[in-house]
């Protein structure tokens, strides 16, 4: 029965021997940065990727970038992270899906002396401390400040004496970014305009469709809704559709966060009112620049905050704001 079977057995054995005989780090690569994003389907991350690319080009750095199929694929991202470590990068720049899913991989990176960068501040400092993981730095927008800017814009539009119900659409449950934005907004709003009452704060899971459903439900309960703050643009745009479908476009002020290209288009069209633009392009670019410094032995701040910018129709049409060039 054999020849075919014997050949297969033989090749399997050879393969096994080959695997066993090679250890890790067979090939030394010079200085590749590993960049792990959540998913590339959101233009936000696309812009960040662009920033990484431009930053790497300017700094003369070689890198490889990967993502997973959705921003909820926790274990797959962990698996990709482990695989990236196989390529012996000199730095790991990661945007974790939640505060714990990459822990085993980050520990391994730390054991191998590879500096870790928390891209867009997804890791919980308390968890990192408990796990004994030290990151080189975290870089991202100050999400609390971003939320606060959203509140400031709303108050500037409606007035400090305004009253009425407000809906907050949070991000993915448990995600720290979404939490900070919602908190920042709620706190500042309470300070500036106590008459504006947040009647609901619900998780939209970063999902456009889900945000639309939530908006519909809340509009049914509160037909006199005056404003919606969504923790990202995708959800804000979902809310926009729901509001306009209900014919309440003039009544409800809608604010998103991210400033991605879809949001910009909607603002120019006069549908979405404002978006607190993060500058993901800058985040990506500065992440790479700072990693280069770290590897060169320089000190960089542990918390690098990239400024945010409130985008409105006026700001876009005027076009004089210098940070606008970083809005992609």
Partner 1 sequence: MSSELARPGLWTRAQRGSVERLHIRLESLLVLLALAAVMAALSPYFLSFSNFLNILLATSTIGILAIAATFVISAGGLDLSLGSVMGLSGVAGAFVTVNLGVPWGLGVLACILTGALAGTVNGQLVTRALVPAFIVTLGMLGIARGLALVISGGRVIYGLPPELLYLGQGRPFGIPMPVVIFVATAIVAHCVLAYTRFGRHTLAIGDSEGAARAAGIRVDRHRRVLYTLSGALAGLAGMLFMARINSGDPTAGLNYELTAITAAIIGGTNLFGGRGSILGTMIGALIMGVLQNGLNLLAVQSYYQQMAIGAVLILAVFIDQYQIRKETRS
Query: Which one, of 131, 171, 150, lies nearest residue 38 by Cα?
Result: 171
Using CA of residue 321, residue 322, residue 323, residue 324, what is the dihedral sign? positive
156 binds partner 1 (CB under 8 A): no
Tokens of 235: 């959800």
Question: Which parts of 212-259 are beta strand (E)?
Answer: 227-230, 253-258
Residue nearer to partner 1 on the CB measure, 30 or 314: 30
Residue nearer to partner 1 on the CB measure, 4 or 297: 4
Is residue 216 within 8 Å of residue 242, measured between CB atoms? yes
86 binds partner 1 (CB under 8 A): yes
87 binds partner 1 (CB under 8 A): yes
Size of the site for partner 1 (CB under 8 A): 51
**Interface mask (CB under 8 A) for partner 1, residues 170-189, using x and -?**
---xx---------------
How many alpha carbons fall within 13 Å on the CB side of residue 18? 6
Residue nearer to partner 1 on the CB measure, 179 or 278: 179
Residue 136, class by beta-carbon neighbours within 10 Å (0-12 exposed, 13-18 middle, 19+ buried)? buried
Among 104, 194, 195, 301, binds partner 1 (CB under 8 A): 104
Tokens of 178: 């979404």
Single out the segment in contact with partner 1 by CB under 8 A; choices: 10-18, 191-199, 226-234, 269-277.
10-18
Cβ atoms within 10 Å, residue 156 = 13
Query: In the complex, which residues of this chain contact partner 1 (CB under 8 A)?
Result: 1-5, 8, 11-12, 15, 18-20, 22-24, 26-27, 40, 64-70, 72-76, 78-80, 82-84, 86-87, 98-101, 103-104, 124, 127, 130-131, 173-174, 203
């Amino acid at each position: 029965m054999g020849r075919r079977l014997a050949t297969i057995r033989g090749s399997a054995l050879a393969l096994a021997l080959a695997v066993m005989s090679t250890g890790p780090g067979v090939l030394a690569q010079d200085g590749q940065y590993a960049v792990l994003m959540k998913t590339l389907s959101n233009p936000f991350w696309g812009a960040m990727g662009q920033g990484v690319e431009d930053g790497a080009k300017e700094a003369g750095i070689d890198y490889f970038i990967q993502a997973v199929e959705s921003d909820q694929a926790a274990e797959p991202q962990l698996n990709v992270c482990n695989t990236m470590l196989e390529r012996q990068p000199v730095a790991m720049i990661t945007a974790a899906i939640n505060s714990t899913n990459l822990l085993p991989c980050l520990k391994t990176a730390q054991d191998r002396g590879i500096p870790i960068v928390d891209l867009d501040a997804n890791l919980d400092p308390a968890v990192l401390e408990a796990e004994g993981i030290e990151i080189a730095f975290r870089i991202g927008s100050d999400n609390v400040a971003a939320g606060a800017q959203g509140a400031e814009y709303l108050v500037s539009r409606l007035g400090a004496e305004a009253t009425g119900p407000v809906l907050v659409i949070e991000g993915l449950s448990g995600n720290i970014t979404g939490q900070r934005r919602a908190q920042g907004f709620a706190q500042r709003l309470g300070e500036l305009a106590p008459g504006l009452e947040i009647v609901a704060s619900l998780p939209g899971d970063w999902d456009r469709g889900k945000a639309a459903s939530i908006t519909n439900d809340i509009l049914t309960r509160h037909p006199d809704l005056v404003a919606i703050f969504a923790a990202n643009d995708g959800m804000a745009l979902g809310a926009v559709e729901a509001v306009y479908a209900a014919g309440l476009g003039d009544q409800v002020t809608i604010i998103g966060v991210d400033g991605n290209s879809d949001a910009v288009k909607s603002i120019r069209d006069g549908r979405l009112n404002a978006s607190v633009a993060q500058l993901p392009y800058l985040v990506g670019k500065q992440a790479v620049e700072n990693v280069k410094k770290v590897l060169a032995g320089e000190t960089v701040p542990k918390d690098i905050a990239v400024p945010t910018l409130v985008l409105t129709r006026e700001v876009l049409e005027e076009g004089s704001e210098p940070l606008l060039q970083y809005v992609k």
